[in-house]
Structure 1
Amino acid sequence: MAAMTKEWLGGTTIFAEMSALAVRTGAINLGQGFPDTDGPEEVREAAVRALREGKGNQYPPGPGVPELRTAIAEHQLKRYGLAHDPDTEVLVTAGATEAIAAALLALVGTGDEVIALEPYYDSYAACIGMAGGTRVPVTLHPRDGAYHLDLDELRDAVTDRTRLILLNTPHNPTGTVLTREELAAVAELAVERDLLVVTDEVYEHLVFEGEHVPIASFPGMRERTLTISSAGKTFSFTGWKVGWVTGAPELVTAVRSAKQFLTYVASGPFQYAIAEALRLPESYFEGLRADLRAKRDLLSAGLAAAGFEVYRPAGTYFVTTDIRPLGESDGFAFCRALPERCGVVAVPNAVFYDHQKQGAPFVRFAFCKREDVLREATFRLRSL
């Protein structure tokens, strides 16, 4: 584990490598998860208005501007029935990535074990390593066209050294959305073993099958859960880097203590704009889901026609595929050659695994792109 963490901390991420390859070759970049169109015009105008009115041009308050903290608390109450005091139980961060880093730095000490669902977002490993913790992967297994959590494996992974469970649902990169029953089992385990839970819910509004249920809403979880989300994926403003943490006051205070030595504050004018974005009518969120569901189906069908085995995601905006039907087995080699072979960039899933052999034949594609771009990508992939 230590060697891998040092390698990640000392080098570039797979996203940087593949995005650079896309630029060099002129390939369609379906590797990194960012939209190729901006979000709602009224939200952009809210940011411009904040700039012109001098809101956030200087350092905003450390916890975040009051308008956004209030909007986040309203969102959690309206959507999930979770009541939060915006002054003591909400913290604004420089995106969800900083929230994850600050939470782990605040709550994990040397030798503490952190359980993470594998494959996992690459910053999880780096942040656990920076905190001095030991990550313990619990692998999601592909079966019947989707990925599944083995609750027995999760329970067996808990030891006397386990400090917290780092949960991600909807899950990147597999697109798995944990069910209410699965979350109830995780909650029961956390209460039984007195564990903290840090939950990454940035794709909460991108669920196509099933429902998103915050684990903080289960009995005994409110006081032991830090919930993380962000504006980037929901509103297609990934460059604004506006994220947030909600939870019990003592947990949020701990995260703020670490966060103040990372960025201190960020994204001042954009915070005011996201406060307005969170109050958009339900039709916006429904339209976003419908648009991305159609794009998921378009790309999934195109990948299947090109010869990939496709694991159709229930959420997020990523599709995982198996390259073995194409006669390939090394995802790294496949992805590095793909731009030259057919002008498309993808990401090898092995980078999201501790045991890279388990992820070796799997490759991830992003579908948060314009429909014409996805159609062109699937046309090119058919040449495989």
Structure 2
Amino acid sequence: MDIVSNRLKRIQPSQTLAISAKAREMKANGQDIISLSAGEPDFDTPENIKQAGIKAIQSGQTKYTDVGGSLELRQAIVKRLNEDYKITYDPEEIMVSCGGKQVIFNAMMASLNQGDEVIIPSPCWVSYPDIVTLAGGKSVIVPCNAKKSHFKLQPNQLEAAITSKTKWFILNSPCNPTGVAYSRSELRALCDVLLRHEHVWILADDIYSKLVYDGFTSSTIVAVEPLLKSRTVTMNGVSKAYAMTGWRIGYAAAPKHFIKAMTKLQGQSTTNPCSISQMAASEAFTASQQSIVTMIKTYEERRDFVCQQLNEIPGLTCIKPEGAFYLFPSMKGFLNKTSKNGTHIKTDQDFVAALLEEEGVAAVHGAAFMMEGYFRISYATSTLLLEEACKRIRQFCMNFS
């Protein structure tokens, strides 16, 4: 008798995590692997934040907190949102979870009924569709054109996708996997559409909002249109901007009644996030933000270097994005060709599999992000490794027939 539920069978394991795991296994077996597959900063957590975690342990801050996070941390988040976006929340409108992914899971599980629709622009983060499916909803994937709009959803596309069954619209800016970010005017155009459809809620995934380049200024839905605050969940956390992926702290800012609903769900799943991580996150949000400035400078230099290198390889084309730490080049020039070791490339998954096997560079295929013909690489790794990875990618691409 099969013990696995039908619900679980409808979703897939995270493909980014699977590829990263395979790369680690190959490396452990002695192979020379450069992994550009993980969405994780290579910087260490800043020292002041680590010390806050150590202090939490030493001072006995190791007990349960409120399910939705300690008051101290929620107050710190309120302050951070006000300083970053000039938007105002009360601590009762904030909830803290075990990472940003749990915030999204909580939001979907607490709201979706069977058949409710969720609009997701693609390319998109791999987990959105599966979380929606697990919650009983239906993902409405809206492909965004690379050449016409730099992978950004256009207002007419959003308008066309909304139906009477639409419950949510998810917007990730800067976006994983493309790195493209929506300007304030671009958000304004989307807000104008959303104002006309009062039944649609918005989930603003701002997890990469601080990692933007070339003087770009991040904004968020509620800051652009305060009238949408009553039906928007703004999600953020510490993993990317503060290099704290393993600390597992994400948060939601949302209407009080929906915060209560998500807290109810979390109370019957994980309960509160780690108390030690909460103390460290409070330090991250309230102390100097200089460490982010340092990371941004390094990421921008890496982005420029890798983007230039990829665009110089015949058959690859790559948009220079405004933020995050990803590039999403097209590999369509290699479809129906054969690699040096004899792999016939029918899909982007064939391309990244051959790249890993033949040159030891791990990337993630575009189909995992609901956009075929592309692949994602992360430049959140050392410049030396990126230089070597670009050499290997060039070598791989120059040996097709």
TM-score interval (norm. to shorter): over 0.9
Contact 2:355 2:361 in 1 (8 A): yes
Structure 2 residue matching 1:167: 3-state secondary structure: strand
Q: Who is 1:288 aligned against? A: 295
Deviation at 1:21, TM superposition (A): 2.3
RMSD: 1.9
Matched, 1:135 2:147: no
Separation (CA, whole Å) in 1 of partners of 2:186 and 2:96: 29
Contact 1:306 1:378 in 2 (8 A): no
Taking the TM superposition and a 5 Å limit, the aligned residue runs for 1:262-281 are 262-281=269-288
Matched, 1:50 2:56: yes
Q: Who is 1:75 aligned against? A: 80
Structure 1 residue matching 2:23: 3-state secondary structure: helix
Deviation at 1:243, TM superposition (A): 0.3
Taking the TM superposition and a 5 Å limit, the aligned residue runs for 1:1-384 are 9=11, 11-26=12-27, 27-55=33-61, 57-86=62-91, 88-143=92-147, 146-194=150-198, 195-209=200-214, 210-217=216-223, 218-307=225-314, 308-326=316-334, 327=337, 330-353=347-370, 359-384=371-396
- Call closer, same or farther: CA 1:118–1:220 in 2, change over 3 Å: same
Contact 1:39 1:236 in 2 (8 A): yes
1:349 is matched by which residue type in structure 2? G
Contact 1:323 1:329 in 2 (8 A): no
Deviation at 1:47, TM superposition (A): 0.8
Question: Where does structure 1 lack aligned partners over 5 or more consecutive residues?
Answer: 354-358
Select the structure that is richer in strand. Answer: 1
Percentage of identical aligned residues = 27
Separation (CA, whole Å) in 2 of partners of 1:303 and 1:54: 50
- Call closer, same or farther: CA 1:303–1:203 in 2, change over 3 Å: same
Separation (CA, whole Å) in 1 of partners of 2:115 and 2:22: 38
Contact 1:329 1:361 in 2 (8 A): no
Deviation at 1:303, TM superposition (A): 2.1
Separation (CA, whole Å) in 2 of partners of 1:37 and 1:380: 24
Separation (CA, whole Å) in 1 of partners of 2:217 and 2:177: 18
Contact 2:326 2:376 in 1 (8 A): yes
2:326 is matched by which residue type in structure 1? F
Contact 2:348 2:373 in 1 (8 A): yes
Deviation per CA, 1:277-333: give whole Å up to 9, x if none. Answer: 112324333222111111111221222234421121111111001112345551111
Q: What is the number of equivalent residue pairs in this alignment?
A: 373
Deviation at 1:162, TM superposition (A): 1.0
Separation (CA, whole Å) in 2 of partners of 1:204 and 1:318: 13
After the TM superposition, which of the residue ranges 339-348 and 141-150 deviates more from structure 2?
A: 141-150
Computing the radius of gyration from Cα coordinates, the structure with the larger value is 2
Contact 1:35 1:369 in 2 (8 A): yes
Deviation at 1:5, TM superposition (A): 8.3
- Call closer, same or farther: CA 1:282–1:37 in 2, change over 3 Å: closer
Separation (CA, whole Å) in 2 of partners of 1:377 and 1:280: 36
2:76 is matched by which residue type in structure 1? A
TM-score (norm 2): 0.88
Question: Where does structure 2 lack aligned partners over 5 or more consecutive residues?
Answer: 1-5, 28-32, 338-344, 397-401
Separation (CA, whole Å) in 2 of partners of 1:271 and 1:178: 30
- Call closer, same or farther: CA 1:132–1:144 in 2, change over 3 Å: closer
Contact 1:331 1:361 in 2 (8 A): yes
TM-score (norm 1): 0.92
- Call closer, same or farther: CA 1:360–1:6 in 2, change over 3 Å: farther
Separation (CA, whole Å) in 2 of partners of 1:364 and 1:344: 12
Deviation per CA, 1:14-52: give whole Å up to 9, x if none. Answer: 123211321233311101111233121111111111111
2:364 is matched by which residue type in structure 1? V
Separation (CA, whole Å) in 2 of partners of 1:150 and 1:161: 20
Separation (CA, whole Å) in 2 of partners of 1:116 and 1:43: 34
Q: Who is 1:356 aligned against? A: none
Deviation per CA, 1:186-205: give whole Å up to 9, x if none. Answer: 22222211121111110010
